[in-house]
């Protein structure tokens, strides 16, 4: 029997769980890794092997002018095994990193199962294991464990569906076409209001109702829309329905005309820092290109940069700002860490990042070292900051994007150069953080 102080249990052998297990083994710990595969599989998992890519084989861009490119660079600095293996299994995809999914899962399966410090158990976990544990059971966490987590975390901290609206950057909005105030001037002018004329509104509704929608998986159709209707379905009910719903103009006067607009789309700040705005009431199931095309018909959004598109799908995630600390451990019990999509990040590389940081957080916890937060200048640190500081009400998962980073000092005018400035600042900050962690 192992000495318990050298053991960490990891539940879930997906992207986050495998990354976490590898990092813990590398740090000298014995890892008990549990996954219900291959005996039991979620509706999206098909392979018998660990670390399966469940959908698109693209891990997004490698370019440093993109947030996903910067996140990859940060993961490289932190020696991510998932990234390294993905790079070894890359297939031609221009500037993106796409993988041969079968080769990738087989390679990762071997790396994990052949590691002498990782002990794999094929078992569905129903209760939270005792001791130091990382739970990384993903967006399709099996029901028994989801119920256990729900009960353990209390009232509202676990969601089973992701129904989110698109998010755009503030700097891409056209100020000539919006005004800031709150409905009936109650509040501190937190909202950006995007007015539409009758003609613009009717054209928007027409395009919205005819736009292409995402086909849901069979396992998602039952109640994914329950309590959170997509804007296009609301619009199907009649041209006026949005004007009496999320696009109602009551209580709003446009200072340019001194009149109430015909219809208004409101945008709300997504989090305290960073210039990201959420399209209020616009949770949608349109395809991503259609979201861009249709919402860009709203004059203020003509050149909008979408940092996140709306999604409506089965997704289990905790209300991170309520329950999570910045090392991915639970406020309620710092021996329990939550990683991967379950922690409130969204995406393959983001899930990998959270598994990696949770493992490092666990190492610090085991060594009784204080956790040094990762700079918010990095995509990693900014995502963690979002998870721990976003509004608890209506919390929605987040992916890598530049909109969550603190503003630049001396920002370049040219958009591409500005993105490279963000990238340089992030990489420098991550290198510095890594060098300072002499215990790693
Ligand atoms: C249908 C779907 C499509 C997606 N498509 C994309 C995409 O195209 N691009 C993108 O970037 N992201 C996508 N995502 C989001 C996300 O990036 C992936 O789900 C990613 O795999 C999450 O990594 P993870 O490690 O958190 O979870 P997973 O990779 O899902 O790993 C979780 C593991 O936990 C195991 N498990 C679950 N419950 C238990 C239990 N009780 N006991 C033991 N084991 C358990 C599962 O078998 C699984 O192996 C998609 C998600 C879904 C659901």
CA distance 80 to 343: 18
Whether 321 is in the pocket of ligand 1, judged by its Cβ within 6 Å, is no
Give the chain's largest Cα–Cα span.
76
For residue range 357-411, list pLDDT tens digits in order. Answer: 999 999 999 999 999 999 999 999 999 999 999 989 888 899 999 999 999 999 8
Identify the band that residue 224 occupies on the pLDDT scale cut at 50, 70 and 90. low
- Among residues 300, 299, 345, the alpha carbon closest in space to that of 321 is found at 345
How many Cβ atoms from other residues are within 10 Å of residue 40's Cβ?
Answer: 12
- Among residues 226, 271, 251, the alpha carbon closest in space to that of 391 is found at 271
Whether 20 is in the pocket of ligand 1, judged by its Cβ within 6 Å, is no
pLDDT number for residue 1: 38
Percent of the chain with pLDDT over 70: 95
Nearest alpha carbon, ligand 1 atom 1: 44
pLDDT number for residue 203: 98
For residue range 250-259, list pLDDT tens digits in order. Answer: 999 999 999 9
Q: List the Cα angle 48/51/53 in 5-degree steps.
A: 90
Report in angstroms the alpha-carbon separations of 321 from 16, 127, 163, 339, 392.
20, 23, 18, 14, 6
H/E stretch holding 413: none
Residue 399 contacts residue 334 (beta carbons within 8 Å): no
User: Which atom of ligand 1 is the closest one to the Cα of 18?
Assistant: 25
φ, ψ (nearest 5 deg) of residue 327: -110, 10
pLDDT number for residue 94: 87
* pLDDT exceeds 60 at position 2: no
Whether 45 is in the pocket of ligand 1, judged by its Cβ within 6 Å, is yes
What DSSP letter does each residue of 208-267 carry, written as one string?
HHHS-BPPPPGGGTTTTTTTS--HHHHHHT-TTGGGGTTT--TT--BTTTTB--SEEEEE
CA distance 108 to 382: 28
* Residues contacting 244, CB < 8 A, separation 6+: none
CA distance 116 to 133: 19
For residue range 39-93, list pLDDT tens digits in order. Answer: 999 988 999 999 999 988 999 999 999 999 999 999 999 999 999 999 999 998 8
How many Cβ atoms from other residues are within 10 Å of residue 15's Cβ?
Answer: 32
Whether 37 is in the pocket of ligand 1, judged by its Cβ within 6 Å, is yes
CA of 379 to the centre of ligand 1 (A): 21
CA of 94 to the centre of ligand 1 (A): 25
Whether 13 is in the pocket of ligand 1, judged by its Cβ within 6 Å, is yes
Whether 328 is in the pocket of ligand 1, judged by its Cβ within 6 Å, is no
CATH 3.50.50.60 in the chain is located at: 4-162+313-436
pLDDT number for residue 415: 87
Identify the band that residue 430 occupies on the pLDDT scale cut at 50, 70 and 90. very high
Identify the band that residue 227 occupies on the pLDDT scale cut at 50, 70 and 90. low
Whether 397 is in the pocket of ligand 1, judged by its Cβ within 6 Å, is no
What length does the chain have? 440
CA of 57 to the centre of ligand 1 (A): 13
CA distance 404 to 379: 8
φ, ψ (nearest 5 deg) of residue 223: -135, 25
Identify the band that residue 108 occupies on the pLDDT scale cut at 50, 70 and 90. very high
Percent of the chain with pLDDT over 90: 82
Whether 35 is in the pocket of ligand 1, judged by its Cβ within 6 Å, is yes
* pLDDT exceeds 70 at position 3: no
Topology, domain 4-162+313-436 = FAD/NAD(P)-binding domain (3.50.50)
Identify the residue with better confidence: 50 or 157. Answer: 50
What DSSP letter does each residue of 178-206 carry, written as one string?
-EE--GGG-SSS-EEEEEE-HHHHHHHHH
Which of 9, 12, 312 has the most ligand 1 atoms within 8 A of CB, as the residue to mutate? Answer: 12
What is the mean pLDDT of the segment spanning 1-10?
75
Distance of CA 1 to the CA centre of its chain: 38
For residue range 312-357, list pLDDT tens digits in order. Answer: 888 899 999 999 999 999 999 999 999 999 999 999 999 999 999 9
Residue 195 contacts residue 262 (beta carbons within 8 Å): yes
């Amino acid at each position: 029997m192992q000495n318990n102080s050298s053991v960490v249990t990891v539940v879930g052998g997906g992207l986050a769980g495998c990354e976490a297990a590898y990092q813990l083994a590398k740090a000298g710990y014995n890892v008990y890794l549990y996954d219900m595969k291959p005996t039991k599989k979620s509706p999206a998992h098909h392979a018998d092997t660990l670390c399966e890519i469940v959908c698109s084989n693209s891990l997004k861009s490698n370019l440093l002018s993109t947030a996903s490119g910067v996140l990859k660079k940060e993961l490289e600095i932190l020696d991510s095994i998932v990234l390294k293996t993905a790079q070894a299994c890359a297939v031609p995809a221009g500037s993106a990193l796409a993988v041969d999914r079968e080769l990738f899962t087989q390679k990762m399966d071997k790396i994990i199962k052949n590691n002498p410090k990782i002990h794999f158990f094929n078992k569905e976990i129903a209760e939270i294991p005792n001791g130091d544990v990382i739970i990384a059971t993903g967006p399709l966490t099996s029901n028994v464990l989801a119920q256990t987590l729900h009960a353990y975390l209390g009232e509202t901290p676990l969601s089973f569906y992701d129904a989110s609206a698109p998010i755009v950057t503030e700097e891409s909005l056209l100020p000539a076409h919006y005004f800031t105030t709150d409905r009936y001037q109650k509040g501190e002018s937190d909202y950006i209001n995007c007015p539409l004329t009758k003609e613009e509104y009717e054209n928007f509704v027409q395009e919205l109702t005819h736009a292409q929608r995402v086909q849901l998986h069979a396992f998602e159709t039952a109640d994914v829309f329950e309590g959170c209707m997509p804007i296009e379905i609301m619009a199907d009910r009649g041209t006026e329905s949005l004007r009496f719903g999320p696009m109602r103009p009551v209580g709003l006067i446009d200072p340019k005309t001194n009149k109430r607009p015909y219809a208004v789309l409101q945008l709300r700040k997504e989090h305290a820092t960073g210039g990201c705005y959420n399209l209020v009431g616009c949770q949608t199931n349109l395809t991503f290109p259609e979201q861009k095309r249709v919402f860009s018909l709203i004059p203020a959004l003509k050149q909008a940069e979408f940092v996140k598109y709306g999604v409506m799908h089965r997704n289990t995630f905790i209300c991170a700002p309520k329950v999570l600390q910045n090392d991915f451990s639970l406020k309620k019990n710092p021996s329990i860490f939550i990683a991967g999509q379950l922690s409130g990040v969204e995406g393959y590389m983001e899930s990998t990042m959270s598994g990696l940081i949770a493992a490092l957080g666990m190492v610090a916890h085991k060594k009784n070292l204080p956790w040094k937060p990762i700079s918010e200048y990095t995509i990693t640190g900014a995502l963690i900051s979002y998870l721990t500081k976003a509004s608890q009400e209506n919390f929605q998962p987040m992916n890598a994007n530049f909109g969550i980073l603190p503003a630049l000092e001396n920002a370049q005018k040219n958009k591409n150069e500005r993105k490279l400035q963000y990238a340089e600042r992030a990489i420098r900050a991550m290198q510095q953080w890594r060098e300072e962690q002499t215990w790693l």
